[in-house]
Structure 1
Amino acid sequence: MTRPSLHHLFFIIIGPSGSGKTKVAEAVFPKEYKVISHTTRPKRTGEQEGTDYYFETQQHFQQLIESKALAEYDTYNEQKYGVGIDELLRKTTEHYAYDVLTFQGFQAIEALFKPMVIPIFLDVSKENVIARLQERGELPEIIKERSALYDQEIQNKEKIIRYSPHFIIDANQPFEHVVNTLKQIIDISIK
């Protein structure tokens, strides 16, 4: 059985928690270009099924795993998250697509769909991560937890360098500069 392939590029935004991944991605990519992930976490106020996530029961998520319907999946804060293969194929049929994922998520998808998967790492200092989390009004225990994760997450920058192509953006720069840099990367990559 031949594995299906992506028709257009899939950009994966990676970086430490608090690096601005989601905010930057939403400022650059059209909303309809986002690959919608599956999750078992409860729906938050204002979130919509099929727009923010596909909200799944633990049982249905397990069925997705067992049927090999997910390109990647992981557990974060005791909730499961995963990218469906069908969603990924559908979103890249007519144009490029994107998602904000972990390095492990990138590795799993890249193994299935290389060379059509491009990692973009947002490199940011620990001090800036803590400052941004404080600006967002995060609770002290959340800031402490994310700060502890930083050392582990920043190591992914060295791992991404092994993949070609890859891009690393200095996310310590002002937001508009980071957004413009990402736009330039997309333009270069799709030409």
Structure 2
Amino acid sequence: MTAPETRSFVDIRVLVLSGPSGSGKSTIVDRLVNVAPVQLVKVVSATTRPPRAGEVNGRDYYFLSPEEFEQKRQAGEFIECEEVHGNGNWYGTLRSELTRAQQAGAWAFLEIDVQGALSIIKEYPDAVSVFLTTASEGDYEQRLRNRGTESEDAIQQRLETARRELKLSKEYKHIVVNDDLDRAVSEICHILASAEG
């Protein structure tokens, strides 16, 4: 009698999706989870920021106190973590989240900022990495303004961040232009089907 085959830690299949604010990541993520040709488990990030209205711990984020976050960081439980936007709030990806996806026989799907993505790509060089962009920089600004949730200073800060992130897009295996939602989702599905095959 042979032992059941187990997948090693390095066999975890990983999809990384990044893009500047206003590139349409959230909409793409929601659609992909439902239509992708492979099973995707959305990785839940951890953060020290307080929950916003309607956010649920364990679904939207793992909301940790700064002390809890630091304990996990010191214990090496994060694949990547950093302070984001310079406001004192930390974000990170727990290793246990990738294990959760692996145990479900699925791909770990990370919607993550560029700096975090580069750390994931370094640790998982076989990861399928997709940088989502719009047709022009003006599209980012228009989408941010249409949200109606950002101050002018916040908009300008996000646009500056977008410019920096765009320069790093060449670090990704794939760049997808989100000028048409259906086409962008279809393109990412094709990328996943090719990687799985």
Residue 197 of structure 2 is aligned to residue 185 of structure 1: no
For residue 59 of structure 1, the aligned residue among 67, 77, 82 is 67
For residue 143 of structure 1, the aligned residue among 128, 144, 155 is 155
How far apart are 1:20 and its partner, in Å? 1.0
Name the counterpart of 2:165. Answer: 153
Name the counterpart of 2:122. Answer: 111
How far apart are 1:49 and its partner, in Å? 1.0
Name the counterpart of 2:5. Answer: none
Gaps of 5+ in 1: 161-165
Name the counterpart of 1:28. Answer: 32
Gaps of 5+ in 2: 1-7
Residue 111 of structure 2 is aligned to residue 100 of structure 1: yes
Give the 3-state SS of the residue equivalent to 2:83 in structure 1: strand
Relative to structure 1, the CA distance from residue 72 to residue 170 in structure 2 (aligned partners, 3 Å threshold; closer, same or farther) is same
* Alignment partners' CA distance in 1, 2:98 and 2:12: 10
* Alignment partners' CA distance in 2, 1:190 and 1:181: 14
What's the TM-score, normalizing by structure 2? 0.84
Residue 186 of structure 2 is aligned to residue 175 of structure 1: no
* Alignment partners' CA distance in 2, 1:150 and 1:109: 20
**Contact 2:80–2:93 under 8 Å retained in 1:** yes
How far apart are 1:6 and its partner, in Å? 4.2
Counterpart AA for 2:45 = S
How far apart are 1:143 and its partner, in Å? 1.7
Counterpart AA for 2:98 = L
How far apart are 1:32 and its partner, in Å? 6.9
How far apart are 1:56 and its partner, in Å? 0.2
Kindly name which structure, 1 or 2, has the bigger radius of gyration based on alpha carbons.
2
> Deviation string for 1:88-144 (max 9, x for gaps)?
1221231112111122212222332332x2210112221000111122123333222
* Alignment partners' CA distance in 2, 1:132 and 1:179: 19
Relative to structure 1, the CA distance from residue 96 to residue 32 in structure 2 (aligned partners, 3 Å threshold; closer, same or farther) is closer
Relative to structure 1, the CA distance from residue 168 to residue 127 in structure 2 (aligned partners, 3 Å threshold; closer, same or farther) is same
Residue 93 of structure 2 is aligned to residue 72 of structure 1: no
- Percent of counterpart pairs with the same letter? 26
Moved more, 7-16 or 127-136: 7-16
Extract structure 1 runs of 4+ deviating beyond 3 A.
none
For residue 91 of structure 1, the aligned residue among 97, 101, 117 is 101
Counterpart AA for 2:119 = A
What's the TM-score, normalizing by structure 1? 0.87
Name the counterpart of 2:53. Answer: 45
Counterpart AA for 2:168 = N
**Contact 2:40–2:109 under 8 Å retained in 1:** no
**Contact 1:38–1:55 under 8 Å retained in 2:** yes
